[in-house]
Amino acid sequence: MCQVEEDYRDPPLLPDLPSVFNKCVKCKDASAAVVVRAGDPYCRACFKEYFIHKFRAMLGKNRVIFPGEKVLLAVSGGPSSSSMLRQVQEGLSQNAHKKLRFSPGVVYIDEGGAVGQSVQARLRTASELQAVFRATGFPFHMVPLEQVLDLPSSVVVAAVSPEPAASTYKAAVDRFMQSADTEHHIQTVLLPLRQHLLVHTARSEGYSKLMLGDSCSRLAVKLLAAISLGRGAQLAQDTGFSDSRYGDIVSVKPMRDYSAKEIAFYNHMFRVPSVTTPSLTSKMSDKASIQRLTESFISKLQADFPSTVSTIYRTSEKLQTACRPSSAADRMDTCLLCVCVLDTSVGNATAFQSTLISKYLSEPKAQVSPGAAAAARSGHNPVTPPCVEQSRSCGGEHCGTSACTAPAQLTLTTDLKNLLCYSCQLTVRDMSSVDRLPQYILSEAQRRTRRSQLREEISDFLLDDDEDDSRG
């Protein structure tokens, strides 16, 4: 029972906060040198062991990278990718415990041209990174972002890659052990183009895996920003450990368990070299873009609530896409930019279809015909002959029909829009002309459009899958 005259003036007891003056939580002997999380102070040696173990445990748990496989490390020079490079370098050393067994290479995408850097500044950055890469002894590739303009259209087509059996990994380990002498708006559009260039470099140089340096903090920002940009259907691929949307080239994210704080501590304590390069968001305000605003929001929230990033990250681990995976038979059903399965093939009574109809009816000076309205409700635009699309007569035999083969310029409202997922449609909708996109994307779009027109022409002679199975 409470007593009226009882004295409550004594201050409440505060819990002991973790401090670098405490003992290491692991060895219980040495003084702590760093506090990673509340209640987790580590000494210098134990923190290094903890950091290295987390990296190798991530690779070992997923078993995606096979012994002897060629892996291309995408290094931007930033803290996370530089730390990833150090982990691979130490994992391949002779005295490493549980030594890594793959053959690494390094690639750096020079984006200085996109941010307006001078030639001298780009050469200086490249020189610093070359010194870092040469010290590792790994083969490296310096690729300017401008090279994306010369890519083949096959880079946006998911190549056929056989699915390995469950026993394949163990067999690869056995073979490796037997051969002991084996030698070891722009901003949103820029991301898929950069990924296309990485995939093309990996294919050209004979690599089968692409290792990215996305940290837990970066993935938390990417997850919330992706939701704001309408990429809910693609979250599992964008934030998961492995991403096989390109078929023969699988992207992995071994740094996804590390927070930016852990990486910063490790790089500082063990002198991991990094080269800071400007990006499109450097020195920009918080409201410059959705990505920048999301990053600022999470960073400020993380300062007061240290579990913010980990909570968002753990949520991303549970995500699964409702879209069916792409296969060799339906390569036409992948987005032209992000190469994810299209999320626009949905039913009529959906929010997406309501958005399409509302947008179509609100367009200024729109001539809404019954056929066009029906096409909008079904989510498909009518096939427009190239000559009609250009408002002229090509004079050919099939002029005015969908079989017309006259070259046509793609438009955002017809051909290209049908080849993009919902998020990528939002990305390119403000573009005045699709001519600003690289030629390999436009070529692939025209190829898919012609195939769709041909399929429309012969649709009456094709058998449905259900009908074919019943006859078999």
User: Are residues 337 and 292 part of one domain?
Assistant: no
| pLDDT in the model for residue 160 | 63
> Does residue 197 form part of some domain?
yes
154 belongs to a structural domain: yes
| Domain count within the chain | 2
The contacts of residue 361 (CB under 8 Å, 6+ apart) are 368
What is the model's pTM? 0.79
CA separation for the pair 104, 67 (Å, rounded): 11
- The answer to whether the CB of 35 falls within 8 A of the CB of 19 is yes
Q: Look up the CATH number of the domain holding residue 232.
A: 3.40.50.620
Greatest Cα pair distance in the chain: 104
C-beta neighbour count of 337 within 10 angstroms: 25
pLDDT value at residue 174: 57
Instruction: Provide φ and ψ at 106, rounded to 5°.
Output: -125, 140
Please classify residue 139 by burial: count the beta carbons closer than 10 Å to its beta carbon, then call 0-12 exposed, 13-18 middle and 19+ buried: middle
**Residue finishing a domain among 317, 348, 381:** 317
Contact 253, 219 (CB under 8 A): yes
Answer whether residue 117 is part of any domain. yes
Q: Is residue 412 part of a domain?
A: yes
Handedness of CA 286, 287, 292, 297 (dihedral sign): positive
To the nearest 10°, report the CA torsion of 434, 437, 443, 449: -40
| DSSP letter, residue 275 | -
Residue 454: the pLDDT is 87
Residue 306 lies in a domain: yes
Q: Do 371 and 297 share a domain, yes or no?
A: no
Residue 282: domain span:
34-165+183-317
Same structural domain, 349 and 252: no
Q: Same domain, yes or no, for 101 and 144?
A: yes
322 located within any domain? no
Considering the domain architecture, whether residues 345 and 404 belong to the same structural domain is answered as yes
Identify whether 29 is part of a domain. no
Q: How high is the pLDDT of residue 44?
A: 93
Residue 292, token pair as written in the block:
């920048």
What's the CA gap between 342 and 335, in Å, rounded? 6
Q: Which residues contact 177 (CB under 8 A, 6 or more apart)?
A: none
Q: Cβ contacts of residue 397 below 8 Å, gap of 6+?
A: none
User: Is residue 46 located within the same domain as residue 147?
Assistant: yes
Same domain, 313 and 332: no
Are 420 and 288 in the same domain?
Answer: no
Among 36, 121, 128, smallest CA distance to 76 is for 128
Q: From the centroid of its chain, how far is CA 7?
A: 61
Same domain, 334 and 191: no
Residue 16 in domain: no
Q: What's the one-letter identity of residue 127?
A: S
Rounded CA-CA distance 47/60 in Å is 20
Both 238 and 266 in a single domain? yes
Query: Tens-of-pLDDT digits for all 472 residues of the chain?
Result: 455 555 545 554 444 555 556 889 888 888 888 988 777 889 999 999 999 999 999 998 888 999 999 999 999 999 999 999 999 999 998 777 778 889 999 999 999 888 888 999 999 999 999 999 999 999 999 999 999 988 998 888 877 665 555 556 556 555 544 544 333 356 678 889 999 999 999 999 999 999 999 999 999 999 999 988 888 888 888 888 999 999 889 999 999 999 999 999 999 999 999 998 887 777 778 888 888 899 999 999 998 888 899 889 888 778 776 555 444 435 568 898 999 888 877 666 667 777 777 877 776 654 444 554 555 445 444 444 444 444 444 444 555 454 554 444 555 555 688 888 888 888 887 777 777 788 899 888 888 888 888 888 888 887 765 555 555 5
**Does residue 127 sit in the same domain as residue 78?**
yes
Tell me the H-state helices in 305-438.
308-317, 351-362, 370-378, 386-389, 415-418, 422-428
Among 272, 296, 317, residue at a domain's last position: 317
Final residue in a domain of this structure, among 272, 288, 317: 317
- Signed CA dihedral, 34, 40, 43, 46: sign only: negative
Distance CA 27, CA 16 (A): 19
280 lies in the same domain as 377: no
